[in-house]
Amino acid sequence: MRKRTLVSVLLLCLMVMTGCTEQKSASHEVPLTPLPVTLMPQKPTQEVTVTPFEPISDTLVFSPTEENVKPIGRTVMIDGVRWCAFSGSGIEFAFAGKSCSVRLVGDEIDAGTERNARIGIFIDGTRTKEIMMNEDGMKEVTVEILNSDTDTVANVRIVKLSEAADSTVGIAEIDAVGVVFPITPRKRKIEFIGDSITCGYGVDGHFDIDVYSTANEDCTKAYAYRTAEILGADYSLVCMSGYGIISGYTDTGEKLADKIIPPLYGTLGRSYAHFDGLYSPESFAWDFSEFRPDTVVINLGTNDMSYCKDDPDKRAEFTEQYAAFLRAVRAKNPDAIIVCTLGIMGTDLNQSMQQAVINYKNESGDGNVYVMFFPMQDEADGLAVDWHPSPMTHEKAAGKLAAFLKSLWEE
């Protein structure tokens, strides 16, 4: 009886708030493929009147617009489909009713390439399903989220677990015998900028046994996502495996200047694949007004270590360009706390990063920038693919970072 009453209340809220529509290795090579962008018009929506005390027996189709869902991370709507590239991007919504499913669409990445997009579905914070897009050659799949004989109220989160470089995914529509509307934004918002560690590279694999694939990558088990969950914060992830400040990961000593985060910071990412098979994520400029973080966490430098080594000139370049990136981040986030972190997979550039922060603060007078070093991972806590952090290491890192951020917020 209580659930029936709550569903009725939610339906009443829906009438006011919303309408519904009609019944790898760390050195990945990612090509630069910016394409001209022509945003196609969204499909027209049809208002459906829902009587709050009348049971819903027909399936209603909800578009993943902000009237119906809360976007997670950086996404874009193209022809009525919400496309996701970066790790952790997706949607979140409240559901009230009996059954609910989502239609997902893939990109041009074919099955068997070990680059298929990996998607997780969470109900009330617990993962209930995961999907590998295009795994069976299917570019479109409808996934049942829940199905109940009685009225159910649930928080639903659909998250892209794998990273931008490999593939993209589109969320096309939500079919429900019931109603769908966006979750209220959380008080805190955190943006995480990083590399493979932030992506959750190989976290579901084992060192010296598995090789990287999107099937063993999971950002929701990595320190950034876990920090946001510990603190009850909304998040956005801007991360690419193998990327750095002045060079991507290199095992030859050659500088990989095309694999750096700063030029991508204002975009929706970079990928082998294209939204709808046509549009490069990199060609979309991100509107920073869509997500205003009160805290920005930067975890970059791990891949630069492979290039800089002990060369003082390269380290000086890293310090200079790190400070330049801080200026760019501050320009887009004038009021945010900025926290610079490093160390989980190596501490070689810790001092160079700290010097960059000191230089930036001295030049700018910006006192709202902080440094927090992670301890190096302990092999006793396990290792994931290619020496990457294990779930236990990520959890310890999340606990440390969450405590640090909380102390700053309470000052």
Asked whether the predicted pLDDT for residue 144 surpasses 70, the reply is yes
Which residue would you say has higher pLDDT here, 346 or 136?
346
In order of their start, the domains of the chain are 46-182 (2.60.120.260), 189-409 (3.40.50.1110)
Tell me the pLDDT band of 37, cut-offs 50, 70 and 90.
very low
Asked whether the predicted pLDDT for residue 55 surpasses 60, the reply is no
Q: What percent of the chain has pLDDT over 90?
A: 83
Q: What is the pLDDT of residues 219-232, one digit of tens each?
A: 999 999 999 999 99
Asked whether the predicted pLDDT for residue 113 surpasses 80, the reply is no
How many angstroms separate the Cα of 316 from the Cα of each of 244, 308, 341, 346, 373?
15, 9, 18, 18, 20
pLDDT on residue 40: 31
* C-alpha closest to that of 143 among 113, 185, 172: 172
Whole-prediction pTM = 0.88
Within 10 angstroms of residue 104's Cβ, the number of other Cβ atoms is: 23
* CA separation for the pair 129, 334 (Å, rounded): 39
pLDDT on residue 6: 44
Asked whether the predicted pLDDT for residue 349 surpasses 90, the reply is yes
Asked whether the predicted pLDDT for residue 13 surpasses 70, the reply is no
Tell me the pLDDT band of 51, cut-offs 50, 70 and 90.
very low
Which residues share a beta bridge with 81? Answer: 78
Tell me the pLDDT band of 58, cut-offs 50, 70 and 90.
confident
Q: Under a CB-based contact definition with an 8 Å cutoff, are residues 70 and 91 in contact?
A: yes
pLDDT on residue 28: 34
Asked whether the predicted pLDDT for residue 50 surpasses 70, the reply is no
Return mean pLDDT, the chain: 89
Tell me the pLDDT band of 265, cut-offs 50, 70 and 90.
very high
Q: What is the pLDDT of residues 64-106, one digit of tens each?
A: 999 999 999 999 999 999 999 999 999 999 999 999 999 999 9
Which residue would you say has higher pLDDT here, 136 or 365?
365
Which residue would you say has higher pLDDT here, 155 or 12?
155
pLDDT on residue 56: 63
